[in-house]
Structure 1
Amino acid sequence: MIPSDTTLTKDGLQATGKGRILLLACGALAREIIDLKTANGWDHMDLTCLPAIFHIHPKKIPGAVRAAVEKHRDSYDDIFVVYADCGTGGILQSTCAELGVEMVEGPHCYSFFEGNDRFAEISETEFTAFYLTDFLVRQFDAFIWKPMGLDRHPELIDMYFGNYEKLIYQAQIDDQALTEKAQACADRLGLAFERRFTGYGDLESTLAKLRE
Structure 2
Amino acid sequence: MSSSPIAPTSTTRSSSSSGSDRIALIACGAIAQPSAEISERRGWPVDIHPLPPLLHNQPQKIAGEVRDLVVTLGDTYDRVVVGYADCGTYGALDDVCTDLGLERLPGLHCYDVFAGPSRIETFFEEQPGTYLLTDFLVRSFARTVEKELGLDRWPELRDDYFGSYTRVVWLAQQPDAELHALAQDAADRLGLPLTVVDTGSSGLERALEDLIA
Alignment TM-score, normalising by the size of structure 2: 0.91
- Paired letter, 2:75: D
Note the C-alpha offset of 1:168.
0.5
**Is contact 1:115-1:201 (8 Å) kept?**
no
Rate the CA distance shift 1:92–1:211 in 2: closer, same or farther, 3 A: closer
Q: Counterpart in 2 of 1:23? A: 25
Rate the CA distance shift 1:102–1:175 in 2: closer, same or farther, 3 A: same
Note the C-alpha offset of 1:107.
0.9
Q: Counterpart in 1 of 2:37? A: 35
In structure 2, what is the Cα distance between the partners aligned to 1:10 and 1:112?
21
Aligned residues between the structures: 209
Q: Counterpart in 2 of 1:196? A: 197
In structure 1, what is the Cα distance between the partners aligned to 2:144 and 2:94?
24
- Paired letter, 2:193: A
The structure carrying a bigger helix percent of its residues is 2
In structure 2, what is the Cα distance between the partners aligned to 1:67 and 1:211?
21
Q: Which runs of 5+ in 2 are unaligned?
A: none
**Is contact 1:23-1:47 (8 Å) kept?**
yes
Rate the CA distance shift 1:99–1:211 in 2: closer, same or farther, 3 A: closer
Q: Sequence identity of aligned pairs in percent?
A: 41
Q: Which runs of 5+ in 1 are unaligned?
A: none
- Paired letter, 1:9: R
Q: What CA RMSD, in Å, does the superposition of the two structures yield over aligned residues?
A: 1.8
- Paired letter, 2:38: L
SS of equivalent to 2:126: coil
Note the C-alpha offset of 1:153.
1.4
> Map of 1:76-115 to 2, 5 A cutoff?
76-115=77-116
In structure 2, what is the Cα distance between the partners aligned to 1:113 and 1:10?
22
CA deviations on 1:126-159 (whole Å, 9 max, x unpaired) are 3211011100111101110111111111111111
- Paired letter, 2:187: A
> Map of 1:20-169 to 2, 5 A cutoff?
20-42=22-44, 44-169=45-170
